[in-house]
Structure 1
Amino acid sequence: MSNSEIRHIVFDIGKVLIHYDPNIPFSRIIPDEAERQWFFANVCTHEWNLEQDRGRPWDEAEELLIAEFPDRTDHIRAFRGHWHEMVSHAYDGSVAIFETLIDEGRDVTMLTNFAADTFREARKIFPFLNLPRGVTVSGEIGMIKPDAAIYEKHTRDFALAPAHTLFIDDSIANVQAARAFGWNAVHFTEPEKLKSDLASHGIAA
């Protein structure tokens, strides 16, 4: 049980509220599994994609890779071109909890590592992302989790009391960083565990 009453609930988005998997379109674009794994390990890597979450424009990101892998130009451009397929569905159980908390009048915000333009698309695909009081999007501000600065900015912008804030994220590193900053934080794995974690902080959902 938390020692402090939770007044603010902060949700991550990817792999908490919506699914994300680049393999969905790329299993068709690069059917050979070994080749596809090589492509994600060496070309469109997690680290490369993270820089778009930090705010790097897609055209700059693409040209950087095309200069190094000119024979992979079509595949590199396909990453952004087929992004909408990567966010294939929402997690209904998580979204139900999220919407219940908002309907009950809880102060809910979102803190996400997301490229600015793809987040605008996500809000159209998943209208529930427009329901909370607000959101901090890494790609719009040039900061990413787990950097302490992004937690500080979200806290300041939304007037949160850290000791009364609960953060929900699928990344252990992001959860640990939130705790180090002074927030309460729980690691998301599936909706039933989230319900249990919320209950341990005195919140029924």
Structure 2
Amino acid sequence: MSIDTVVFDIGGVLVDWQPHLAWSGEMGEDAARAFLTRIGFEKINLACDAGARFEDAAAGLADKEDAARLAAYVARYTRTVPDKIAGTWDLLYALKARGTPLHAITNWSAETWPEGLKAHPELAEIFGTIVVSGEVGIIKPSTQIYRILCSGAAVAPERCVFIDDGLHNCIGARAAGMDAIHFTDAGALEAALVERGLL
């Protein structure tokens, strides 16, 4: 079965996500990064990608100032995704122009996803099916999330190539029956798509 469908990750492939930007304007970059480290933000964010709420995570912090800061994260979210990743949008639009079916799977909180769409409304328009981990309660690299995409898009996994900046997520996609491209930069991605006859 030939590959004719492209499935994108979003953060780290199409959109540059920098969580410290939610607070760096008032605290400075170093202090904002230190805050994220201090509260274990990476773990908190992953839990929220799987369906937890930032407000609940904030309530679990002992330091009141840290808790108040984290509780404001969703309202400040658009500050964290100001930029598109150079080059990949050109490839996305080139695929669209060729009539290639385009879908997306993203590890993204259900709370912050609407804010991400405010910053980059094109995301809501260009993809046929988008699976947001926080909405389904399952995160990559679980094979189940790739199967949810295939079911929603009515496409066999063998027809899909998945693009992600996380190698472990590519491994998960392959385990679900998809081809996968580990994203490093737009030039390498273009070459991989050309190799597969998609560009």
Given the two structures, how large is their TM-score scaled by the length of structure 1? 0.88
Alignment pair present for 1:24 and 2:28 = no
Following TM superposition, the consecutive aligned residue runs of length 4 or more in structure 1 with deviations greater than 4 angstroms are none
Question: How far apart, CA to CA, are the structure 1 residues paired with 2:29 and 2:156?
Answer: 50
Unaligned stretches of 5+ residues in structure 1: none
RMSD: 1.8
Contact 1:5-1:164 within 8 A present in 2 as well: yes
1:160 maps to 155
Q: Tell me, which stretches of 5 or more residues in structure 2 are unaligned?
A: none
**Preserved CA contact (<8 Å) 1:20 1:87:** yes
Q: What is the match of residue 10 of structure 2?
A: 13
Match of 2:39 in 1: 43
1:23 Cα shift? 2.3
CA distance in 2, matches of 1:32, 1:22: 11
SS at match of 2:198: coil
**Contact 2:103–2:129 (CA<8 Å) still a contact in 1?**
yes
Q: CA deviation at 1:32?
A: 6.7
2:88 to 94, 105, 110: 94
Q: For the Cα contact (< 8 Å) 1:114–1:139, is it kept in 2?
A: yes
1:69 to 63, 74, 79: 63
CA–CA separation in structure 2 for the residues paired with 1:58 and 1:104: 40
Judge conservation of contact 1:5–1:202 (CA < 8 Å) in 2. no
Report how far residue 89 of structure 1 moved.
1.2
Q: Provide the rounded CA distance (Å) in 2 between the counterparts of 1:31 and 1:105.
A: 45
**Partner of 2:130: helix, strand, or coil?**
strand
Deviation of 1:47 after TM superposition, in Å, equals 1.0
Could you tell me the TM-score, scaled by structure 2's length? 0.91
Secondary structure of 1:136 counterpart: strand
Distance 2:81 2:137 in 1: 22
- 1:1-205 aligned at under 5 Å gives the runs 4-31=1-28, 33=30, 35-65=31-61, 68-129=62-123, 130-204=125-199
Greater relative contact order (CA < 8 Å, ≥ 6 in sequence): 1
In the TM superposition, what whole-angstrom CA distance separates every residue of 1:90-138 from its partner, at most 9, and x where no partner exists?
A: 1241111112212221111010011123212222321221221120111
Counterpart code for 2:85: Y
- AA paired with 2:13? V
- 2:163–2:183: 8 Å Cα contact kept in structure 1? yes
Deviates more, 1:19-28 or 1:157-166: 19-28
Distance 1:128 1:92 in 2: 15
Aligned residues: 198
Give % identity: 30
CA distance in 1, matches of 2:17, 2:59: 24
